[in-house]
Each structure stands twice: as C-alpha cells, then as structure tokens.
Structure 1
Amino acid sequence: MQIGIGLPSQVPGVTGATLLEFARRAEARGFASLYTSDRLVWSSFEPLATLAAVAGATERIGLNAVVLAPLRANHALFASTIASVDHLAGPGRLRLSLSPGPRPDDFERSGLDFHARGAQLDALLDELERSWRDDDGVGPKPATPGGPALLFAASSAPALRRITTRGAGWLAGPGIEQFETFSARVREGWRERGRSGAPVLAATCKYALGEAAEENMRRTTRGYYGFAGEDMIAALIAETATTPQRIAEEVDAYQRAGCDELYFLSQHDDPAQVDRLADALGDRLG
C-alpha cells in the first residue's frame, strides 16, 4: 500500500509558501503522493492552481486533488486546465478524484443548480473524453497518454456506475467501515462490467500530531464541517489520528482491507507535521 499526505490547504490562514514547503518535505521524506481538496465557500486554495505550483516545486511525487467537478461549468476550459497541469507536472504524476459536491452553498455561490450536479458531472466527463481524444483545437493534449487517471470521490449508486464504466477507481472519505463496504461493491461492479485489471482503491485519514496540532484540528473541523451538525463533527474529531499508535493502527486496518493508496490529511499547517507523520510511520513509509 502506498502512503500519501494531504496539504493543509483547508486550514484557515495557511500560506502558499507553507503549502510548497509541505510539498518539498513530503517528497524528501518519501511519501508517494500529495493530496489537496476543493471547496468554494471557504478559505481553501483552489486545487488545480495549487497542484500547478506544487508541480514546479517538486520533481517526482505524485499529485492528486479532489475536484468539485460540477462547479467547473465551462467543461472545455476545465479539460484544457487539467491538460495544462498534466504538462506542468510531467507524464504520469497527476491524478484527479472527481466529486459531485456535497454542499449546497458552493453551488448557490456559483449560481449553479445543486440538484443538477450529477448530470453536469456526466456531461463534463463526455467533454474530457472528447477534448483529450480529438484534435478539436481546445488546449494542449495531456502529457499523460489518454489523460490523467480519474477516480471518483463518492459512494452512491451513480458514483459506482462512473467508477466501473469511466474511471480508474474510487477515493473514499475517512472511515474504515465505509471503505470495507463500498470497496467490495466496486470490485464486484468492476468484474460485472468486464473491466480488465483491478480498480484503484484509495482512502483518506485525518491526522494531527502534537498538542498544538490537535487543538488546531478541533477548531478547523468545527468550522469546516459546521454544516454537518454536532454529531458528525464529534465523530470526525474522534476518528482523527492524534498519536503514532493510531497512525500505525490506521495503516494496518486499511492494508488488511485491500487499500492501494492511503492519504493522511494534515489538520495543521505546521510543515513539521510532515516529519512527525514520517517518523510515526517509520518503515511503513516506502
């Protein structure tokens, strides 16, 4: 199982310089890939712009972002943007995890219909295939043959359809129980569709190591997930790994469940979090 690390782009007050330092340290400490997320109505850095900058600050580490795809209403422009970032990163480094988007406020602020987001995502996938395949004059063709691998970051019936017909795999949110349940459905659906090989099964786990980091995690979680209610917030705080022992337990659990890639998402913007996580992982890293 490969282990990646999340950039703290969602932490209030984080700077661009800090994100680049995170990326450089992650590559130096042997993490397989970097991850960043997407949200509009928040102080988060835009994920594709972030990865373009990170691509220039690193050389080898893989790049992954969850992108709220239906917010990109100009599908041809989105295809061109992805292809451009793919060139800046170099062939094979970029991977995208497309999400329909769970928060109505992101769509309201964009002037888009939250309830049409599934149809918009399917239309966007059609445009990606057309733009990357045909010589239609829109942007560069991706540096990666066929375009960057696409995962889907949802666990619904439409998500399962997209994963098994149009994607390379699935990115799970935090929680081993959800991963175990839905990954079995992904594997079964993959076989039923007659797909060759196996789907990529990736997962995320939140972490914060050290007292200051744990305090920051609680504050950030309450703000970022304020829409979800107190029960959900309490559950997210409880499942965040805050000790080296919990880090090791998460790795072992996901490895037993057949996870291919596990991303530890930093809940604090101190670049020392990279080193603390690497030290906690020990020989599990790499």
Structure 2
Amino acid sequence: MKFGISYNAAHFGTDPEQLVAFARQAEECGFESLYVPEHVVLYPGARVGPFKLPPALPYLDPLDCLAFVAGATRRILLGTAVLLIPYHHPVPLAKRLATVDVLSGGRMRLLTVGVGALPGEARAVGVDFATRGRRADEAIDVLRLLWAGGEEGAGHQGEFYAFDDLCSFPKPLGGAGLPVHVGGSSRAAARRAGLRGDGWFPGGRLDARERAGQWDLARASAAEAGRDPGALEYTRWGALDMTEDDVETLAAQGVTRIVVSPASPDPEERREELAAFAGRFGLTS
C-alpha cells in the first residue's frame, strides 16, 4: 500500500514556511506523495453537496504550490486532488504540467482531475457547466496528444479545442507523458477513469455500496475499451487514526493508495500526527 498526504491551505493556511515544513516532514516520514486541491474562485452561497464554502477560504493555485514544494523537497511525488480540468485550457496546461515535472525531477506523477461542482465557478471562467464532462474528456486527450507530439507538430479538431501543427516542449521526463488519474463522485467520472484514466480516486462522501459499484464500472469501462483494468490504480481517502485492519480491508477491495490529511491546524500537533501514523505503518523503515 502507498500512502499520500493532502495539504489544503483553506484549512492549514498559506504561510510558505509552514507549507515547506509540512512537505518536508511528510517526505521524512516516508509518505509517497503530497496532494493539493483546487478551487479557481469561490463566491457567497457556494456549496458542495450539503457543505457551504466560506467565500474567503484561501485555495492556493495547485500547480504553483507544487512547484514551490518541489524546490524544497527531493523525493515526494506531487499530486492534485483534484485539478478542475474543464476550467483550464489544455494547451498552456500541458506546458505547465511538463514544466513542474521537469523541474521536480519527474515527480509530477499524480495529477488527478475532476470536473467541479460549483456552477458559479464554471461561469466565472466562461465554461458552460453542462459541458464540463465533455470538456474534461477532450482536455485529457489534448494533453496526451501534445506530450506525445514531436517536431512535426500535432493537430486537433474537437468540440471545444482546435489547433494545427503545435509543438509543446519540454516534454515530461521519460518521454511517455504524465499519468492522469480521475477523481469524482459520479458514475460518469468512474467511466472516464476507465476509458481515459490511469487511476480512479472516488470522492469521500460516497457510501460503500456506491463506491464499490463505481470501481467496478471503472474497471468494466476499461475492459470494454480494450484497456487493461488491472493497470488502473485505485486511490482512496483515509484517516490518520486508521488501523492496520482498516488498511487490509481497503487493500482487499483493490485499493493501491490511501491519502490522509491531518486534523489539527496546529503545526506541532500535525507533526505528532504524521510521525505517529508513519510509525504505525512503518513508512520510515
């Protein structure tokens, strides 16, 4: 089992020294990866399900944040959970992601994308909320096309994006593009993971039956598309107080990575929480 950790500035704050300390400690404790979420904008009355989001919550730009973290760490992989891909034009996004990957020495490997749940956020960036799923599909295809393209250039004529003979350099390290994981809480997202994704990261508010059904759907969609369902990674949210039995239960369900987040906003208490978790699961060994 792989273990990642999430840093949400809306909860922990935007102090750069605290962010660096958090990332370095996670790396020292043996965590595989660090994830950062995204909201492009918020507004009064914004809700995700039953949860109201205070409009002053300080969400850092995830890729700028991860580039900053990369300069202060050496090993920990970098991830988003989730990057709202319909709200980014895929041509400059391909460049930004490749840049973070190159400058971090090949650590931008856990890009997880989602479609967003706030209609006002979509309107703010000029996106029809109803089209965001199709935009996400096309954007994933464009990213991979640009990463794979050579000096002859790559072209694309789609519903939302069109271009001819574009060359996007530098490439992500290794020459194979970046893995793209899909996050979300819907069956459409699960199908997207199977058809286009390298992994599935379901939302944390799903009940056990729906979550299992979506994982089955992701795997079935991969098989129907001629892809190997066994190659899909399966990431789940966990808790810092989870036990070995909890982890074994998730592993039996096919989970390959668990992402946790400290509960306390206090830096010293967070340090103790991370160290205790790492010690319980032998991450530092």
Instruction: Name the TM tier (shorter chain).
Output: 0.7 to 0.9
| Residue 64 (str. 1) matches residue 64 (str. 2) | no
Distance 2:25 2:99 in 1: 25
Could you tell me which runs of 5 or more consecutive residues in structure 2 were left unpaired when the two chains were aligned: 43-56, 151-165
| TM-score for the superposition, normalised by structure 2 | 0.78
Paired position in structure 2 for 1:77: 92
Could you tell me which runs of 5 or more consecutive residues in structure 1 were left unpaired when the two chains were aligned: 208-243
CA distances 1:1-23 after superposition (whole Å, capped 9, x unpaired): 11111113221643222111110
Q: Rate the CA distance shift 1:28–1:81 in 2: closer, same or farther, 3 A.
A: same
Contact 1:8 1:266 in 2 (8 A): no
What letter is aligned with 2:145? R
Distance 1:185 1:87 in 2: 34
Structure with more relative contact order (C-alpha pairs < 8 Å, separation 6 or more)? 1
- The one of 175, 179, 198 aligned to 2:231: 198
| Residue 131 (str. 1) matches residue 146 (str. 2) | yes
Q: How big is the alpha-carbon RMSD for the aligned residues of Structure 1 and Structure 2? A: 2.3
Higher helix share: 1
Contact 1:98 1:152 in 2 (8 A): yes
Tell me the secondary structure at the aligned position of residue 110 of structure 2.
Answer: strand
- What's the offset of the Cα at 1:188? 2.8
What letter is aligned with 2:96? T
Paired position in structure 1 for 2:115: 100
CA distances 1:142-179 after superposition (whole Å, capped 9, x unpaired): 11432111000124343233212221010122256143
- Equivalent residue runs for 1:184-223 within 5 Å: 184-196=216-228, 197-205=230-238
| Residue 260 (str. 1) matches residue 276 (str. 2) | no
- The one of 179, 193, 198 aligned to 1:149: 179
Q: Rate the CA distance shift 1:22–1:166 in 2: closer, same or farther, 3 A.
A: same
Paired position in structure 2 for 1:140: 170
Q: Rate the CA distance shift 1:33–1:4 in 2: closer, same or farther, 3 A.
A: same
Tell me the secondary structure at the aligned position of residue 262 of structure 1.
Answer: strand
Contact 2:14 2:60 in 1 (8 A): no
- Equivalent residue runs for 1:213-252 within 5 Å: 244=241, 246=242, 250-252=246-248
Identity of aligned residues (%): 30
Q: Rate the CA distance shift 1:98–1:110 in 2: closer, same or farther, 3 A.
A: same
What letter is aligned with 2:193? I
What letter is aligned with 1:152? V
Instruction: Tell me how many residue pairs correspond in the alignment.
Output: 248
Distance 2:135 2:61 in 1: 20
Distance 2:271 2:247 in 1: 16
Paired position in structure 2 for 1:24: 24
